[in-house]
Amino acid sequence: MPGQQLEQLLIRIRDGEAHDGALEQARTLLRADARFPEELRRALDDDDEHEVADSAAALLAVLGADEGFGASLADAIFDEAGLFTGSPGAHADDVANDVIAATHPNERATSVAHAVHAMAGDIDVTHEVLAELEQHMATFPIDAAVRWHAGSVEVATDVLARLGLADELAPVAAAVTQQSGPVDIVTSVLSTLALEDVQIPLAAAIAAEAGEVDLVSAVMRATDASWVSAMLDNELDAQARRLATQQLRGNREALAQMTAFADIGRQLRSGVESEAGDVAYIWPAIAEQIGIANPESVPGWDGEQVAAAVRSQAGSVDVTTAVMGRVLSAQITTSDDVEAIPVPANNPWAPALALAAAAMFAVFVGAPAIFGGGASVPTIGDTPELAFAQSDEIIINDLSYAENASVQVIQAQGENGALIIWVDEETTL
């Protein structure tokens, strides 16, 4: 703007900083500037530099751009110039505004806006303000406010949908469920809200609502008598067994079933006993079970041990008597039931026969006794078979022989080889 440019040139001229072109330019702008009276428009025409600087200062003062009494000087000038018309008050205000508007255009606009607003009254800027706020309301708790004031789910949904807050639906649903009350409403609400994946302790809710449920009876009725068998075989855990016991108290059918199972067990055991058979056949299995490596060789054999092992396998089978009877049969025992030699009665030949027998005894026994020989009659014929002692049935306690003799202790070949003590005589003592 020319006015501002003139001011700037005047300031330079006043401060002695203007170049030649600046003075001439200032002179040109001044001559055309209507803000100055005609007489002042040639103030810069002087050639003297100092005079020009002083004139520039004065012009600035007229413009009010200096630190001096610009407004007062302006008043004074205008008073002298006789430019004012109208009432002194109104005329002063209009001039003031004009001057202010001319000299301070920006301030003039702000002031005008303020003045206008102050005069215009209330202006509805809520919509605009809210629109602006929506752009920056990342955490604006509209949903919380909606929930607080919603009153009903439908309103909450509609409001949230209109606000584009569908992602915030889950908290709303949680709030709904918290307020909903009965369990069945929870389900329908959740399905409406498509929140099937929401983890809600439904089972606990059912249990809380359902109360004590007699599941044991229902389950057991549904699974027939298998639970009875399991109970008999001690296959139920503690809790199940306790419940089963309670059920048994009034369940005659189950009790009968248990009795039948127990009878089966007894029948099985008696069947095993009857089939156990000879002790000899089960001895190898028993021996192995009781830790005897070789059933055929039992050091320190104890019949009671065998009987106890057999009983443990076969139940109440009395083998002791039978087995021990076999063991003891070979022992030498006293016998009180020896047959009495029958005495012939009323036989007239009895005395004669007795004498004859005595005579024969005397002949065959007495004669050898007189003439020497063995204490027994050598019998040739009817020699019985011999059973030779095995290695574990014979012990040589002592052995000595002549100096010139030699002795070999030999075991004959074969499965049941006999012990042979063979002496080879060379010379005798």
Partner 1 sequence: MKSFLRALFSILFALGLMASAPALAKAPPGGRPPPGAPATVSSKVTVDVLVLHATNGNTTISQQIPPSVIKQLSMLNFTGYSLLQNHTATLGLKQSTNFTVGAHRFELQLLSKTVQDAKIRVQIFRSPGNNKVLDTTVTVHRNKSFIVGGPPHNGGNLILPITARYPAPAASGS
Which residue lies nearer to partner 1 by CB, 129 or 354? 354
Q: If you count them, how many residues does the chain have?
A: 429
User: Nearest distance from residue 297's CB to partner 1, in Å?
Assistant: 15
User: Nearest distance from residue 228's CB to partner 1, in Å?
Assistant: 57
Which residue lies nearer to partner 1 by CB, 139 or 397? 397
Q: Residues in the site for partner 1, rule: CB under 8 A?
A: 330-336, 338-341, 343, 352, 355-356, 358-363, 365-370, 373-376, 378-381, 383-389, 393-402, 405, 407, 410, 412-414, 417-425, 428-429
Find out whether 96 and 75 touch, Cβ atoms under 8 Å. Answer: no
User: Nearest distance from residue 346's CB to partner 1, in Å?
Assistant: 17
User: Nearest distance from residue 387's CB to partner 1, in Å?
Assistant: 6
Find out whether 16 and 8 touch, Cβ atoms under 8 Å. Answer: no
Which residue lies nearer to partner 1 by CB, 122 or 398? 398
User: What would the two tokens of residue 122 be?
Assistant: 């209330």
Which residue lies nearer to partner 1 by CB, 141 or 366? 366
Q: List 424's β-bridge partners, or say none.
A: 406
Q: How far apart are the first and last CA of the chain?
A: 174
Sequence-distant (≥ 6) Cβ neighbours of residue 376 within 8 angstroms: none
User: Nearest distance from residue 337's CB to partner 1, in Å?
Assistant: 10
Which residue lies nearer to partner 1 by CB, 131 or 429? 429
How many other β-carbons are positioned within 10 Å of the β-carbon of residue 111?
A: 14
User: Nearest distance from residue 424's CB to partner 1, in Å?
Assistant: 6
User: Nearest distance from residue 299's CB to partner 1, in Å?
Assistant: 15
Which residue lies nearer to partner 1 by CB, 214 or 403? 403
User: Nearest distance from residue 302's CB to partner 1, in Å?
Assistant: 16
User: Nearest distance from residue 383's CB to partner 1, in Å?
Assistant: 6
Burial 148-163 (b: 16+ CB within 10 A, else e): eebeebeebbebbeee
Which residue lies nearer to partner 1 by CB, 255 or 355? 355
Which residue lies nearer to partner 1 by CB, 167 or 339? 339
User: What would the two tokens of residue 265 be?
Assistant: 């067990």
How many other β-carbons are positioned within 10 Å of the β-carbon of residue 30?
A: 22
Which residue lies nearer to partner 1 by CB, 144 or 407? 407
Burial 86-100 (b: 16+ CB within 10 A, else e): eeeeeeeeebeeebe
DSSP annotation string for 298-350: -TT--HHHHHHHHHHHHSS---HHHHHHHHHTTS----S-PPPPPPP-S-TTH
CA distance 70 to 35: 14
CA distance 391 to 411: 8
Find out whether 287 and 298 touch, Cβ atoms under 8 Å. Answer: yes
Closest of 250, 213, 255 to residue 231, by C-alpha: 255
- The amino acid at residue 67 is E
